[in-house]
Structure 1
Amino acid sequence: MILIIKALKYIGVIAAILNILLWLILNFFNPYTNHSEFGLLIMTFLMLFLPACLAIFAFLLSKPFLLCISFLWSLPISLYLVLTPSIFEIAGVTCLLYLISYLLIGKS
């Protein structure tokens, strides 16, 4: 059981990597966006990419409060993306995984 809990702590890092991949797909490989729109790139960088980097950093330092900040930081855009009928619904799942990872690291 303890081994399972230790393994589940890695879901925060997996979620962060998945969020970085989603950011790349959203901005550079999405045929439905205007690639010349710099504002979208900056906004999604601030709301998806940076919280994912913070989550990886939090995991490496074992600082659960930084995972909580990542969760709260990415929550607004994640809720918005959950309502889109596309692959970007996964952003809501990754945000939830930040919270789960925060709770698991906070327990240990």
Structure 2
Amino acid sequence: MKIAALVLGVTASVFSILLWIVLVFYNPYTSSTADVAGNTFVMLCLPACLAFISSVMYKQYFMLIAFIWSFPISLYLSFTPGIFAWFIAPCIVYFICFLLMIIHRLIEKKHLAFLNN
């Protein structure tokens, strides 16, 4: 489960960063890229970086923070036409990774308690 959380978290965060690059630099529908770049960097790219770090360092609460942080704008973008609706996918994967990390931690604690008795 630990490896699955690592792979899913890293993949989702890289996918989100790449999608953000497409949104900012290759989106023909935005008129002012400075506003879009700044706002979406804070709301999409930074949580993706946090999710990447969380996956590599295996810090479950950082993953939860990345999910909560990126959820509002990801939900908003999920109702838009085009590829930017895919921003909801990494956000959901952040939550799945958080759950995998929590489940793994609970199993690990239960297993260690079993070994101590």
TM-score of the two chains, using structure 2 as the length reference: 0.83
**Runs of 5+ in structure 2 lacking a partner?**
105-117
CA distance in 1, matches of 2:39, 2:10: 22
Aligned to 1:14: 11
The equivalent residue for 1:97 is: 93
Asked if 1:40 is matched to 2:36, the reply is: yes
Aligned partner of residue 80 in structure 2, secondary structure? coil
TM-score, normalisation: structure 1: 0.90
Larger radius of gyration: 2
Higher helix share: 2
The answer as to 2:74 corresponding to 1:74 is: no
Deviation at 1:67, TM superposition (A): 0.2
- The alignment status of 1:61 with 2:57, answered yes or no, reads yes
Unpaired segments of 5 or more residues in structure 1?
Answer: none
Q: How many residues align?
A: 103
Whole-angstrom distance in 2 between the partners of 1:33 and 1:18: 21
Q: CA deviation at 1:7?
A: 4.4
User: Which SS does the other structure have where 2:68 is aligned?
Assistant: helix
Q: Deviations over 1:17-39 (max 9, x none)?
A: 010001100000111112x4311
| Residue deviations 1:16-61 (CA, integer Å, cap 9, x gap) | 0010001100000111112x43111100000000000000111111
